[in-house]
Structure 1
Amino acid sequence: MQIEPGALLKQINYPADLRNRKESELEEVCKELRQYIIDMVSVNGGHFAASLGVVELTVALHYALNTPYDQIIFDVGHQAYGHKILTGRRDVFETNRLLGGISGFPKREESPYDAFGVGHSSTSISAALGMAVASQYKGETDRQHVAIIGDGALTGGMAFEALNHAGIEKSNLIVILNDNCMSIDPNVGALKEYLTSMTTSKTYNRFRDDVAAVLTKISEIGPDAFGIVKKIEKAIKGSLLKNSNLFESLNFRYFGPVDGHDVNKLVKTIEDLKHIPGPKLLHAVTIKGKGYALAEKDQTKWHAPGLFDKITGEIKKSTSDKPQPPKYQDVFGHTIVELAENNPKIMGITPAMPSGSSLNIMMAEMPTRAFDVGIAEQHAVTFSAGLATQDLVPFCNIYSSFMQRAYDQVIHDVALQKLNVVFCLDRAGLVGADGPTHHGAYDIAFMRCVPNMTVSSPMNEEELRNLMYTAQLDKKGPFVIRYPRGNGVMVDWKKPFKEIPIGKGRKICDGEGLAVLSFGHVGNEVVKAFKELAEKGIHPAHYDLRFAKPLDEAMLHEVFKKFDKVITIEDGTITGGVGSAVLEFMSANGYQAQVIRLGIPDQIVEQGEQKELWQLCRYDATAVVEEIVKLVKPIKADFMVG
C-alpha cells in the first residue's frame, strides 16, 4: 500500500525546504505531517501517541533553528517520527523498525540531524550540555543546542544532575519541557504535582503573557536592563506561584507554560530564546496523541498499539481460533498477586512500567503494596533494598536493558548486604523492533559475576511461577529471574506452586552423541529442533540449566562424563554468559570437550522481529539443527580417483 504525503509535505525533504515555506503555511504542514504519521503507523506499527503530541514542536524547531548545525536532542526518542520524516527519511519511513530499515529512535549513524542516539530516558540535557560546552570551547557562539525532555523523563535522577550542572554554565542551551502528564503510563510523584500547579495557576497564567511581552521589550534595551528584567520577572513568577520556581532556582530562565500546539507562537518563542544568553527552559504543554481522538482518550493503550484501522480505531489482533499462551509479563502480573495474597511480606516495585511489566494488576488489587516510582531505576533498586532491610520481600520488576542503569545499586545496596530483593528482568534477550537500545543482551553476564547473586531463567510459564514462588521463600541474598518479551508456550499454565531447589537444573531428554544445555525460553527452540533431528535419526540429550548461578554442578559432571560434544544456547551475549560459565566449569574440573556456544554475538544487533533476530544470530531451531548435524555427521570431502 503506497501512502502519499500531503501536497506541502511532499515538497519537504529536508528542514531547508521547510524553512523556505511561508510561516502562514506551517499549520497546514503540521496537519499533513500528523496525518502521515497516522497513515504510516496504522499499517506498519510502531510508537504512535508520543509523536502526534510533538508535531507542532518539531516543525517549529526545524523552522526556527538552522538544523543540523543547530542540534536537537530528543529524550527517549518515542516522539521523533515527525523529526525523521522532515529530515530526509520520509520516503523510507515504511521501513521504520524493520530488519534492515531505519531505527525507531534517533541514531547518529543514520542521519546528521540525529544529534544523539537515544532509547533510554533522561539523557537529553546531559548530552545537549556537553555539546553546548564543546561549541563554546570551539568558539561556535552562534550554535544552538536544544534538549526536548518529557515530564516523565524529567523524574530520572540524571536529568536533575544535568540541570544542576547546566545552571552554572553560560552555554547556548535550551531545554524544552514537553509536559503532557504522561510517559508510557500516567506520570507519578511530586514533580508531576508541581508542574500541574504551574499549568493550572489562574493568577499566574492571567498575567503571564502581558508581563512576558513587556519584559522582553525592556530586555532589548541593553545588558543593564536585562539584569533588571531577570530580577523583576523572577519576583513576579515567584509571588504569583506562591513558591520559588524550581528551574529558576537552578539558574535557568523559565518561559511558559506555552501552548505546545500553537506552531506559530512556538516559532516566535524559539527565535526569541536564541538571542537570550545562558540556559533557558521552555515549558510547553502538549497532549499525547494529539489529533487522533482515541489516542488522546487512552494514551497508554495508544503509546504503541500495533497495527490498527485508522478510521474505526480497531486494533488488529491475531486471527487464530486456537487459545494462545499468555505473555510472560502477564504470568508475572497474576502470579505476584497470587503469591502476595498468601505472603503479606511481598511488595511490588517498577520504575514507570506498570502496564509494560503487568504490575498494574497488583497496583489495582493491592494499591498499598505496589509502587510505580517513576522513571528512576536506581531509586527503584535502593528503595527495594530499604524494604528488604525491614523483612519485606520486594519484587523489583525492571526491563533487562533498563537494569543496566542501576547496576551500582544492585552491587552496593543489595548484593553487598545480602538483601533478599527479587529482580524480575522483563524483556530479557532480543526484544525485536525496539532494537539495540532495548535488547536485554547483557544481564546474564553482568549479574552472574556479582557475589551472593542467584541468576535464573524459566523455560516456560510454569517455571516462571515456580521460580517466583521459590524466590519469596526464606532465602538470603538477591535473586534474578529473567524472561523474554512476548508469549510463552503453555496455554494451561496456572499450575500449583512447587519449590525449585536453588542451582538445580533438569534433564529434558536423554540422548546420545552430544548434549545441548539451554538456559531459559530459548530451550523451546531446542525442543523444536529435536523434532526435526529425530526424523534424521539423530537423538541428542537436552538439559535445561534453569540457573546460570549457581550452576547445577552435579548435572554438569554427568554431561561432561558422558559427552565430548556440547552445545550451549542462551538468549544473551555469549561473552561472559552462561556458555562461558559452562566453559569455566569444564576447565576447573579438568574435562575436555568440544563446546559450541550459541547466543547473541559480540556485536550490536539491530532491530527486527524476534524470530528474524534469533535466525540472524543463529540460535533459532534451524541453527540448532544445522550445528548438531555438523557435529554428529561431519561432512567428508569426496576425492576423484584417476
Structure 2
Amino acid sequence: MDVPCTDPALGRGLLGRVSGPADPRMLPADRLGELAGEIRGFLIEKVCAAGGHLGSGLGMVELTIAPHRVFDSPRDALLFDIGHQGYVHKLLTGRQERFATLRQAGGLSGYLCRAESAHDVIENSHASTALSYADGLAKARALAGETDRAVVAVIGDGAMTGGMVWEALDNIAAAPHRPVIIVLNDNGRSYAPTTGALAAHLARQHHNGESAPRAGPVSAQNVFTSLGLAYVGPVDGHDIPATERALHQGRALARPVVVHVLTVKGKGFPLAEEDEADCFHAVGVIDPATGRPPAPPRRHRKRPAPRTWTGIFGSELLALARRRPDLVAVTASMLRPTGLHVMAEVLPERVFDVGIAEQHAVVSAAGLATGGYHPVVALYSTFLNRALDQVLMDVALHRLPVTFVLDRAGVTGPDGPSHHGMWDISVLGIVPGMRIAAPRDAARLRELLREAVTVTDGPTCLRIPKATTGHDIRYLARMDGVDILHLSTGRSLDVLLVAAGTTAADAVEAARALEREEGIGSTVVDPRWLIPVNPALTRLAARYRLVVTVEDNIRTAGFGTHLAQACTDQGITTPVHNLGLPQAFIPHGTRNSLLADTGLDAGGITAAVLAAHHQLLRCAPIFRTTSMRRPE
C-alpha cells in the first residue's frame, strides 16, 4: 500500500508534499520544473549513497511527471517496460520515506513491485514485455466494456529492439478500435548506444526536417505509421507541458498511437550525461561529486582491487580470440555488463551486439557456427531463459559448437527475483548434448573456457556469478576430470561433498568444521563439468555412505538431481542429499546474506550434512565406515 511521506527532511519543498499521483496534478504548470529539480536532486543523493540504477531514472523525471498528470493511475494503467525506469514513479506514488532502503533486504525493490503499490501494474524487469502486457490489458478492458480506462506503456528505444515488441505491435496495430498509448522513451541508449536499423530510423525522425522536437500528429511515413499506428512527436521529454500536450493528443485519437519522446539519459547529472561507456546506468555507492567509489581506508589502499568474474572472462576470451581466428562473440545489448567490450575494442568485427533480442542472438550464433565459426554467446543467466527453444532446437538439435557464458548465475543480490540466475542448470540440463561447467575460481574459469571452445560436437555452457573471484582453490588431485579439494586424514571417510562452482569454498570450510567439531570425515570434490554427470563421480559416490551436493541453482532438476539419477541408473544405493536454492522467487538482499538464508554458506552446509548424517545413523544403527586412500 502507498504510505504518505512523513520524513521531516522531505517535508521541505514540493516533493515532500507528494503522497500520491493526485498531488502533482494539483500543481500549477510553473511549479513543475521545481518539482522535477527536487526529484533529480533526491535521486542523485539517495542512489549515490546506496547504489542502484541512476542514469535511467534521471532521464525519466519529466517523462514520469507528465503521464501522472494526464492519466489517473491506477485506474489508468501505466506500464513501465524494465522496472529501473520506475524510480520516479515510486516517488510520485508515495514511497519517498522508504527510498533509503532501496535494494536492501526487506526494503524497496530496485524495480517495480506489485506488493509495494497498486500503481505497480507489472514488475517483470526483463525488457521488451510492456507492449504485450498492454495488448492483453487493452483486450481485457474492451471485453469488460471499460473503454474509459487508458492503457499506457512506456518503453525505451533499446527495448524496442526486442523481437517480442514487434509481435505485440503487430497485434496492437491490427486493432484500431482498442486504444493503446505507446510512449517511446528515445534516449539512444539501453546499457550502451542503441544499435541496428531501428536506431538509425529513430535518429532520422529526430531531425525530420525540423530544427527542434515538436508535438502533434504527424502524417509523414515512418515505421510506425506504416504498420497503421498513429504517431505523435517527436517531443522534448524534458518539457513537461509539451509532453502533456502530446499525451493528451494521443489519448484523444482513441486508437493505438506511438508518442515519440526524446530524453537524455542521466539528465541533470553531467557525469552521467557525458558518459559514453554508460557506467552510470547502475552504480554502487559513489561520490556524486566525482562519480567514483569512496576512497578505501588508508591501510587498504595498497591492496590491488579484486577482480570480477566478468572482467576475467572478458580478458581471457580476448586472449583466446587473438589465437583463434574462428572465435566470435555475441551478446544481446549487454556488451559491457558481460565483459565483451574488452574484445570489441580490439576485434570489433568479431563481436556482434544484436540488441535486446536473446532468441535472435542464439539462432544468429547457430548461423555463425554453421558457417564454420565458434560463437561465444554472453548473456545474463536469467535472460537466457527466454531462448530455451532456440538453444534446444536451433543449436543442440544441430549439434553446433556454441559456447554460452552465463553471467549473474546463482544469487545476484540486490537486483531481486527477476535477476537471480537460479534456473540455468535445470533449464539447460534437459538439452541433449549440452555440457555445463561451473568454475569455482578464476583459474578454473580460464581453464574451463579454454576447454569449452575446443568442443566441436555440441553446445557448452559456463556459469559465473556476480561477484569478485577471491583466491584460487587448489586441488589435491584430479581424478578423471574431478578435482579433489579436501580429504580428511586419519578418519573414516563417510561423506562425499560434491560442490558445484563457487560453493566449493564454503563446502571445504564445512568439511573442516565437521571433522574438527563432529569427528566426521569427508571428501570434498569439484566436478568442474556438472552435466553430463562424469562417470568418475558416480564411481566415487559408490565408495561412500552419504553424498551431499551443493549448488546455487534451484534444487529441482538441478545438478544434484542429475547425480542422484545417475547413481540410481547404475544401481548405486548411496543416498544423495541435495542442497540448493528453493523453488521460489528469492527476494533482493546482499548475495552473502541470501546464500546464508538459503543454507548455502559454510554454516548451512555443515548443519545440513550433520542432519543427513544423523538421519542415516538412525536408519542404519550398524554404520559401516569405509576408508579411502589419498588419490595419487
Separation in structure 2 between the aligned mates of residue 6 and residue 469 of structure 1, nearest angstrom: 59
Partner of 2:294: 316
1:447 corresponds to 2:428: yes
1:550 corresponds to 2:532: yes
1:394 corresponds to 2:375: yes
Structure 2 residue matching 1:290: 3-state secondary structure: coil
- Higher alpha-carbon deviation: 314-323 or 433-442: 314-323
1:331 corresponds to 2:312: yes
Partner of 1:382: 363
Partner of 2:584: 603
Separation in structure 2 between the aligned mates of residue 526 and residue 351 of structure 1, nearest angstrom: 34
Partner of 1:241: none
Pairing 1:311-460 to 2, within 5 Å after superposition? 311-316=289-294, 319=297, 320=300, 321-460=302-441
Structure 2 residue matching 1:566: 3-state secondary structure: strand
Structure 2 residue matching 1:530: 3-state secondary structure: helix
Partner of 1:627: 608
Amino acid of the structure 1 residue aligned with 2:598: C
1:306 corresponds to 2:263: no
Pairing 1:490-529 to 2, within 5 Å after superposition? 490=471, 504-511=481-488, 512-529=493-510
Q: How much has 1:129 moved relative to structure 2?
A: 1.4
- Conserved? CA contact 1:6–1:32, under 8 Å: no
Instruction: Give me the identity figure in percent.
Output: 36
- Higher alpha-carbon deviation: 535-544 or 79-88: 535-544
1:182 corresponds to 2:163: no
1:70 corresponds to 2:48: no
Separation in structure 2 between the aligned mates of residue 328 and residue 194 of structure 1, nearest angstrom: 37
- Higher alpha-carbon deviation: 464-473 or 150-159: 464-473
Partner of 2:231: 254
Amino acid of the structure 2 residue aligned with 1:182: R
Separation in structure 2 between the aligned mates of residue 173 and residue 139 of structure 1, nearest angstrom: 15
Structure 2 residue matching 1:481: 3-state secondary structure: strand
- Conserved? CA contact 2:138–2:151, under 8 Å: yes
Residues 168 and 298 of structure 1: CA distance in aligned 2, closer, same or farther (over 3 Å): same
Amino acid of the structure 2 residue aligned with 1:191: L
Pairing 1:263-282 to 2, within 5 Å after superposition? 263-282=240-259
Q: What do residues 544-576 of structure 1 show as CA deviations (whole Å, max 9, x unaligned)?
A: 12222121112222222x212221100101000
Match of 1:488 among 459, 462, 469: 469
Residues 140 and 36 of structure 1: CA distance in aligned 2, closer, same or farther (over 3 Å): same
Structure 2 residue matching 1:401: 3-state secondary structure: helix
Gapped runs of 5+ residues in structure 2? 1-6, 619-632
Structure 2 residue matching 1:309: 3-state secondary structure: coil
1:173 corresponds to 2:150: no
Separation in structure 1 between the aligned mates of residue 210 and residue 33 of structure 2, nearest angstrom: 28
- Conserved? CA contact 1:108–1:114, under 8 Å: yes
1:33 corresponds to 2:39: yes
Separation in structure 1 between the aligned mates of residue 294 and residue 154 of structure 2, nearest angstrom: 32
Match of 2:16 among 7, 10, 14: 10
- Conserved? CA contact 1:325–1:491, under 8 Å: no
> What is the RMSD computed on CA atoms of the aligned residues?
2.2
Separation in structure 2 between the aligned mates of residue 556 and residue 491 of structure 1, nearest angstrom: 26
Match of 1:161 among 160, 167, 171: 167
Residues 369 and 30 of structure 1: CA distance in aligned 2, closer, same or farther (over 3 Å): same
Match of 2:595 among 614, 617, 638: 614
- Higher alpha-carbon deviation: 545-554 or 342-351: 545-554
Partner of 1:224: none
Match of 2:204 among 189, 197, 212: 197
Amino acid of the structure 2 residue aligned with 1:39: E
Structure 2 residue matching 1:326: 3-state secondary structure: coil
- Conserved? CA contact 2:482–2:527, under 8 Å: yes
Q: What do residues 223-252 of structure 1 show as CA deviations (whole Å, max 9, x unaligned)?
A: xxxxxxxxxx52xx2xxxxxx310001111
- Conserved? CA contact 2:486–2:508, under 8 Å: no
Structure 2 residue matching 1:336: 3-state secondary structure: helix
- Conserved? CA contact 1:411–1:450, under 8 Å: yes
Partner of 1:126: 132
Separation in structure 1 between the aligned mates of residue 151 and residue 447 of structure 2, nearest angstrom: 51
Q: How much has 1:274 moved relative to structure 2?
A: 1.9
- Conserved? CA contact 1:568–1:595, under 8 Å: yes
- Conserved? CA contact 1:507–1:542, under 8 Å: yes
Structure 1 residue matching 2:283: 3-state secondary structure: coil
- Higher alpha-carbon deviation: 306-315 or 173-182: 306-315
Q: What do residues 25-63 of structure 1 show as CA deviations (whole Å, max 9, x unaligned)?
A: 211111111111111111111111100001001011111
- Conserved? CA contact 1:143–1:172, under 8 Å: no
Separation in structure 1 between the aligned mates of residue 280 and residue 293 of structure 2, nearest angstrom: 10
Q: What do residues 516-561 of structure 1 show as CA deviations (whole Å, max 9, x unaligned)?
A: 111111112212333434432443110112222121112222222x
Structure 2 residue matching 1:436: 3-state secondary structure: coil
Structure 1 residue matching 2:411: 3-state secondary structure: coil
- Higher alpha-carbon deviation: 301-310 or 606-615: 301-310
Separation in structure 2 between the aligned mates of residue 47 and residue 280 of structure 1, nearest angstrom: 29
Residues 56 and 6 of structure 1: CA distance in aligned 2, closer, same or farther (over 3 Å): farther
Q: How much has 1:415 moved relative to structure 2?
A: 0.3
- Conserved? CA contact 1:445–1:578, under 8 Å: yes
- Conserved? CA contact 1:119–1:437, under 8 Å: yes
Amino acid of the structure 2 residue aligned with 1:192: A
Q: How much has 1:474 moved relative to structure 2?
A: 4.9
Separation in structure 2 between the aligned mates of residue 419 and residue 581 of structure 1, nearest angstrom: 23
1:540 corresponds to 2:522: yes
Match of 2:548 among 543, 567, 574: 567
Q: How much has 1:5 moved relative to structure 2?
A: 5.9
Q: How many residues align?
A: 599
Structure 1 residue matching 2:375: 3-state secondary structure: strand
Q: How much has 1:268 moved relative to structure 2?
A: 2.4
Match of 1:86 among 76, 79, 92: 92
Structure 1 residue matching 2:530: 3-state secondary structure: strand
Separation in structure 2 between the aligned mates of residue 598 and residue 23 of structure 1, nearest angstrom: 58
Gapped runs of 5+ residues in structure 1? 217-232, 238-243, 494-499, 638-642
- Conserved? CA contact 1:324–1:491, under 8 Å: no
Separation in structure 2 between the aligned mates of residue 619 and residue 208 of structure 1, nearest angstrom: 55
Q: How much has 1:634 moved relative to structure 2?
A: 7.2
Match of 1:465 among 434, 437, 446: 446
- Higher alpha-carbon deviation: 25-34 or 536-545: 536-545
Amino acid of the structure 1 residue aligned with 2:119: Y
Q: What do residues 265-316 of structure 1 show as CA deviations (whole Å, max 9, x unaligned)?
A: 2122222322211101111100000011111111611111211122343333
Q: How much has 1:140 moved relative to structure 2?
A: 0.8
Separation in structure 1 between the aligned mates of residue 200 and residue 29 of structure 2, nearest angstrom: 35
Structure 1 residue matching 2:533: 3-state secondary structure: coil
Separation in structure 1 between the aligned mates of residue 472 and residue 481 of structure 2, nearest angstrom: 25
Structure 2 residue matching 1:522: 3-state secondary structure: helix
- Conserved? CA contact 2:441–2:472, under 8 Å: no
Separation in structure 2 between the aligned mates of residue 354 and residue 73 of structure 1, nearest angstrom: 27
